[in-house]
Amino acid sequence: MSKVDIRGLGKTFGRGEREVVALRDAGLQIAENEFVALVGTSGCGKSTLLSILAGLQEASEGSVLLDGHPVTGPGRDRGVVFQTYTLFPWLTARQNVEFALHGEGASKAERRERAAELLAQMRLGEFADAYPRELSGGMKQRVAIARALVYRPQVLLMDEPFGALDALTRRMMQQLLAEVWEAHRLTVLFVTHDVEEAVYVADRVLVMTNRPGRIKEEIPVPLPRPRTPEMLTDPAFVEIRGRVLESIIAEARAAER
């Protein structure tokens, strides 16, 4: 059984003349502990799909199953990281991570310990007591990832988490994410429009069509792990990246016509 099983997913916004069909008959399956990247042109509905899987939006049609159970709303079995900075600015990095453990019945000491562990993994140990305004964009996203992982969700949903970062920071974040995933082994759906990023982090890349979005093509990434920056010039990597790019460019051209 797939960890995530989406079939016939449709999403329509608005009514009448303002009606916009964001998704139509989109379907995808993600196996347990698989890292899947979802790529597509802007406005193709990839973020909407992620948002529906997160339980933050309702599907207009189709089924969304998590472990065989329909998704009816958000829940702690899924962790979410957005593109925009979503740290609580009135809390320090540590408190932001600990916030996610409230209501779990964990003791204060335990919360502190688990937060420290995640922050260390995200190489933020020395910034634990810094407020978000004192952190760089990359650091903020690392805290956000730590916050999404600390309560041990089974599925991690990431909506262009590095989209607002500069090129160098992005590269470092991709590297870190690949490492963290290799250590945690959890199911990930990673939405991005950066083809290289998708191929670098994922086991499988799904390409979406233009709006109304559905899955157009599935491209496996049979590259070994751990992924390293040297791979970026590896012929196998370049070939896969080329295939994904070609598929997206075809969509972008179609959109212009």
Footprint of another protein on this chain (CB under 8 A)?
54-56, 73-76, 78-80, 82, 84, 86, 88-91, 99-100, 102-103, 131-134, 147-148, 151
For another protein, give the closer residue by CB, 38 or 219: 38
Calpha distance 205→191 (Å, rounded): 10
Q: Least Å distance between CB 97 and another protein?
A: 11
| Residues ≥6 apart with Cβ < 8 Å to 218 | 204, 205, 206, 207
For another protein, give the closer residue by CB, 36 or 53: 53
CB burial of residue 124 (10 Å; 0-12, 13-18, 19+): buried
For another protein, give the closer residue by CB, 99 or 245: 99
Q: Least Å distance between CB 247 and another protein?
A: 30
| Residues ≥6 apart with Cβ < 8 Å to 73 | 55
Q: Least Å distance between CB 200 and another protein?
A: 26
For another protein, give the closer residue by CB, 5 or 104: 104
Q: Least Å distance between CB 134 and another protein?
A: 7
Residue 42's nearest CA partner among 162, 192, 245, 167 is: 192
For another protein, give the closer residue by CB, 39 or 87: 87
For another protein, give the closer residue by CB, 64 or 195: 64
Q: Least Å distance between CB 95 and another protein?
A: 11
Residues in the chain, overall count: 257
Q: Least Å distance between CB 74 and another protein?
A: 4
Q: Least Å distance between CB 45 and another protein?
A: 18
For another protein, give the closer residue by CB, 82 or 181: 82
Return the structure tokens found at 171: 């590269």
Calpha distance 148→36 (Å, rounded): 17
